[in-house]
Amino acid sequence: MVVENFEIGIIGAGDMGMLYAQRFQQAGYVVNLCDTPERHTELQSKHKDLGLNILRDGYAVSRRSDLIIYSVPAVVINSAVEKYGRATKVGAIVAGQTSVKTPEVQAFLEHLPDDTHIVTCHSMHGPNISTRGQPLAIIRVRSSDEHYERAVHALEALESRMIFLTYEEHDRITADTQAATHLSFISLGTAWSLQGYHPWLNPQFISGINNVKVAMALRIYASKWHVYAGLAIMNPLAKRQISCYVESMTTLYKWMVAGNRQEFRTLIHDAADFVFGRDRSHKKIMLDDDVLQQLSLSQVPDEMSRPNSHLSLLSAAVCWYKMRMSPYDNLVCQTPPFRMWLGIVEYLFCDHEMLEQSIETALEDRYTQAEDLVFYTAVTGWGQCIELGSFDGYRERFEKTAEFLRPKLEQGKDLSTMILKKLTNGEAQASMNK
């Protein structure tokens, strides 16, 4: 049942804004939607059959809506609220959909009228996945009990799994789950671009967990750059984890090429014991072998496969170990990329034979060390870009790599969706059998 006499406004008609608009409209709400004024006519023509009120700008949306959701990039949230916040309907509830809540909340507190109620949110997934059953962070900042309950009731239309947090807790968890995850996947893409050949033609990325690496990297590059830039650059906690990931990879790579075998092995096994337990009993994702083998974009015959050091995965476990952080503690707010990332790290570290092959390949295989040099360069380059806070640099690097990978972006996105669905269905079946 919808909240009576309650209109929902969405400022920003990008992918997530449209996902929200359609979900609320289907639930029976009056939905007021806008983007920038110059897109007004385009949106009216494009979405005329969706039953939405397409308004000219954020002023029009803010004046008549009872719940206003800013669905704009994190980098422009302050300017958007500064511009339209003054038109907020008296007593309305305001929320945002950015992935970094500290600057969003600061913008709300600074620019919104005192009679505004602030109950913000964040769907922990992208626009290509249904909101149904996915984690939805609900954050009460400033509101009466009545308005808070109305906001929660309205957001129930998304049919998501609600998680109630403070904005500080949200930013810590998103930093822990997304910062190094995104860095690794976007760096893989950049490394392939720098070498000038696609991963589906690379004999090191033929099967198994390599399929997940390729599919998830392509999934990210099929999205918009600002989705990842905002989290990485505007969340100071994310920078801390990114720095640790870069440092962990630097240590491992130096020991690889220097031949420091014992130091390398000791660090890997210490990290494995900390994250997965000495008996490797901490497994929770448990990727299915058949799924990993069946879903692939590779055009290289299996017999031409070459071993892979999985340096990106080794560095993740070492990073968690150095930060004394268990990745399983954050599964409550998991995103699809993080779930797959943790899943393939778990898969590697909990298979003794595969981990041993990974270590030996890293220490002995000169071909792999040369390949990993390019990946290491990509990681440090992205790390420096993020540390400098360069949105322009981030966008240029991201879009250049996306253009290189464009021939398979849609296929990669579809493949990653299939992997996620099979994983979800498998877990649901396992839960039913308990």
If pLDDT is split at 50, 70 and 90, which confidence band does 295 have?
low
Looking at every residue in the chain, the average pLDDT score rounds to 90
Cα 240 to Cα 221, 232, 233, 331: the distances in Å are: 23, 10, 11, 20
What is the per-residue pLDDT across 189-236, written as a single tens digit (0 to 9) for each?
999 999 998 888 888 887 788 888 888 899 899 988 998 999 899 998
Residue 286 to residue 187: CA distance in whole angstroms = 25
Q: Under 8 Å CB-to-CB from 148, ≥6 apart: which residues? A: 117, 119, 140
From CA 200, how far away is CA 203, in angstroms rounded? 8
Report the range of poorest mean pLDDT among 243-252, 283-292, 345-354, 422-431: 422-431
| Residue with the larger pLDDT of the pair 317 and 297 | 317
Of the chain, the end-to-end C-alpha distance in Å amounts to 33
Q: What is the pLDDT of residues 391-434, one digit of tens each?
A: 999 999 999 999 999 988 888 878 777 777 766 555 544 443 44
User: What local confidence, expressed as pLDDT, does residue 350 receive?
Assistant: 92
Among candidates 105, 84, 337, 61, which has minimal Cα distance to 220? 337
pLDDT of res. 211? 83
pLDDT of residue 428: 41
- Low-confidence winner among 229-238, 250-259, 363-372 (lowest mean pLDDT): 229-238
The pLDDT, as a whole number, for residue 329 is: 87
Q: H/E/C letters for each residue in the chain? A: CCCCCCEEEEECCCHHHHHHHHHHHHHCCEEEEECCHHHHHHHHHHCCCCCCEECCCHHHHHHHCCEEEECCCHHHHHHHHHHHHHHCCCCCEEEECCCCHHHHHHHHHHHCCCCCEEEEEEECCCCCCCCCCCEEEEEEEECCHHHHHHHHHHHHHHCCEEEEECHHHHHHHHHHHHHHHHHHHHHHHHHHHHHCCCHHHCCCCCCCHHHHHHHHHHHHHCCCHHHHHHHHHHCHHHHHHHHHHHHHHHHHHHHHHHCCHHHHHHHHHHHHHHHHCCCCCCCCCCCCHHHHHHCCCCCCCHHHCCCCCCHHHHHHHHHHHHCCCCHHHHHHHCCHHHHHHHHHHHHHHCCHHHHHHHHHHHHHCHHHHHHHHHHHHHHHHHHHHHHCCCHHHHHHHHHHHHHHHHHHHHHHHHHHHHHHHHHHHHHHHHHHHC
pLDDT tens per residue, range 117-145: 999 999 988 887 889 988 999 999 999 99
Out of 82-91, 242-251, 290-299, least confident range: 290-299
The confidence band for 337, taking pLDDT boundaries of 50, 70 and 90, is confident
Which residues, at least 6 apart from 149, have a Cβ–Cβ distance to it below 8 Å?
none
Q: Is 314 in contact with 268 (CB distance < 8 Å)?
A: yes
Residues, the chain: 434
Question: Quick one: pLDDT at residue 433?
Answer: 47
pTM of the model: 0.86
* Closest by CA position to 212, among listed 121, 301, 310: 310
- Whole-number Å distance between alpha carbons of 231 and 187: 16
